[in-house]
Amino acid sequence: MQSYDVIIIGAGPAGLTSALYSARSKLNTLYLETLGAGGQVAATDEIENYPGFSRGISGFDLSLQMEEQALRFGAKPLLTKVLGLELADPYRIVKTTKGDFIGKIIIIASGAAPKPLNCPGELTYRTRGVSYCATCDGPFYEASNIVVVGGGNSAVEEACYLTKFANKVSLVHRRDALRATKIIQDRALTNPKLEFIWNTVIHEIKGDEMVQNVILRNLLTKQLTEMPVNGIFIYVGNEPNTSFVKSLIELTEEGYIQTDEFMRTNIPGIYAVGDVRQKLLRQVVTAVSDGAIAAYHGEKYIEEHF
């Protein structure tokens, strides 16, 4: 069983920052990821509110730079799926599809995944017209009619992005006003290719080999309306990736990890950072802050206990 000072689960901005700070402190650092660095940020078309990039930067490029920095200081990456955690005091064990790894501290940065609508047809047409990533799939919908579901920052930003490709984008929101920040709302409301359908939800997704129609249900009138569409992009929130720690770590009702101001969980030597933990604001800037705090406190923990 390979041993490390720090094992980080996840390689989004929070995980990569933890890796950078830990490795730079000369701690033997391993970070684990299932697909590649960046997490959800890597699929973001443009990030305008991360300090230091006055003209914005793509999520992919920012993720690449973060990983390069962590690697430069000696952090070690491994692509694998984490199955669970075990305690072997004073150590913590991470069980993965590529074996078990032992660490002095664990930093959970596993992030969150897009929440499904759970409506008829969604699962059937996933990857066949139903998507959760406009940056990934938007170019496939050149000159098409698209529906975006949601009213927060992600939904509105990605709806604007999709107007680069589509003939028309219809944003379907269950309320009568957007929840996105004012500057993002202003861009959307003045975009001539964006249509807004208020007080409405997706009742059913229909098609043949690919999505062809969506059934809309007005929440006020209960009326059902069929709309021809080529693609549906869903942005109705996220679910934390915490299934592998449910029996060990204290979670909120929504499944987020409870931490204190030092990113400590209820288990000494195990920290949680980024979107996976209960917090007020989930942004890149708060994720990197979490990662730095956890790594710094984790270093002190190692000094005191090993």
Claim to verify: residue 121 and residue 102 sit in the same structural domain? no
User: Which tens digit of pLDDT belongs to each residue from 232-279?
Assistant: 999 998 899 999 998 899 999 999 999 999 999 999 999 999 999 999
CB of 299 closer than 8 Å to CB of 292: no
C-alpha–C-alpha distance, residues 174 and 198, integer Å: 6
C-alpha–C-alpha distance, residues 299 and 72, integer Å: 19
Where a domain ends, among 212, 234, 256? 234
User: Which tens digit of pLDDT belongs to each residue from 102-133?
Assistant: 999 999 999 998 899 999 999 999 989 999 98
Claim to verify: residue 89 and residue 197 sit in the same structural domain? no
Claim to verify: residue 20 and residue 106 sit in the same structural domain? yes
Per-residue pLDDT at 300:
98
Claim to verify: residue 228 and residue 149 sit in the same structural domain? yes
Per-residue pLDDT at 47:
86
Model confidence at 41, pLDDT cuts 50, 70, 90, reads confident
Active site residues: 133, 136-137
C-alpha–C-alpha distance, residues 113 and 62, integer Å: 20
Cα 239–chain centre separation: 9
Per-residue pLDDT at 88:
94
Tell me what the mean pLDDT of segment 53-71 comes to.
94
* Mean pLDDT (the chain, rounded): 95
Claim to verify: residue 215 and residue 142 sit in the same structural domain? yes
Task: Assess whether pLDDT exceeds 80 at residue 45.
Answer: no
Whether the full predicted model's pTM is greater than 0.95, yes or no, is no
Per-residue pLDDT at 253:
92
User: b vs e for 241-250, b when ≥16 Cβ sit within 10 Å of the residue's Cβ?
Assistant: bbebbeebbe
Claim to verify: residue 130 and residue 92 sit in the same structural domain? no
| Residue-number span of the structural domain to which 78 is assigned | 2-113+238-305
Where a domain ends, among 209, 234, 259? 234
CATH number at residue 51: 3.50.50.60
Torsions phi, psi of 81, nearest 5?
-105, 130
Nearest to 28 by CA among 274, 298, 305, 266: 298
What is the 3 state secondary structure string of the chain?
A: CEEEEEEEECCCHHHHHHHHHHHHCCCCEEEEECCCCCHHHHHCCCECCCCCCCCCECHHHHHHHHHHHHHHCCCEEEECCEEEEEEECCEEEEEECCEEEEEEEEEECCCEEECCCCCCCCCCCECCCEECCHHHHHHHHCCCEEEEECCCHHHHHHHHHHCCCCCEEEEECCCCCCCCCHHHHHHHHCCCCEEEECCEEEEEEEECCCEEEEEEEECCCCCEEEEECCEEEECCCEEECCHHHCCCCCECCCCCECCCCCCECCCCCEEECHHHECCCCCCHHHHHHHHHHHHHHHHHHHHHHC
Nearest to 263 by CA among 301, 231, 234: 301
Model confidence at 48, pLDDT cuts 50, 70, 90, reads confident
Lowest mean pLDDT among 9-23, 27-41, 206-220: 27-41
Claim to verify: residue 23 and residue 94 sit in the same structural domain? yes
User: Which tens digit of pLDDT belongs to each residue from 219-235?
Assistant: 999 999 999 999 999 99
Claim to verify: residue 95 and residue 195 sit in the same structural domain? no
Where a domain ends, among 179, 208, 234? 234
Claim to verify: residue 216 and residue 242 sit in the same structural domain? no
Model confidence at 306, pLDDT cuts 50, 70, 90, reads very high
User: Which tens digit of pLDDT belongs to each residue from 74-87?
Assistant: 999 999 999 999 99
Claim to verify: residue 101 and residue 19 sit in the same structural domain? yes
CB of 278 closer than 8 Å to CB of 113: no
User: Which tens digit of pLDDT belongs to each residue from 177-200?
Assistant: 999 999 999 999 999 999 999 999
C-alpha–C-alpha distance, residues 128 and 68, integer Å: 34
User: Which tens digit of pLDDT belongs to each residue from 128-165?
Assistant: 999 998 887 899 899 999 999 999 998 999 999 999 99
* Neighbour-count burial of 300, counting CB atoms closer than 10 A to its CB (0-12 exposed, 13-18 middle, 19+ buried): exposed
Cα 279–chain centre separation: 14
Claim to verify: residue 123 and residue 223 sit in the same structural domain? yes
Residue % of the chain over a pLDDT of 90: 87
Claim to verify: residue 101 and residue 247 sit in the same structural domain? yes
Model confidence at 282, pLDDT cuts 50, 70, 90, reads confident
DSSP-assigned beta bridge partners for residue 239: 113
CA quadruple 281, 50, 112, 117: dihedral positive or negative? positive
Give the chain's domain count. 2
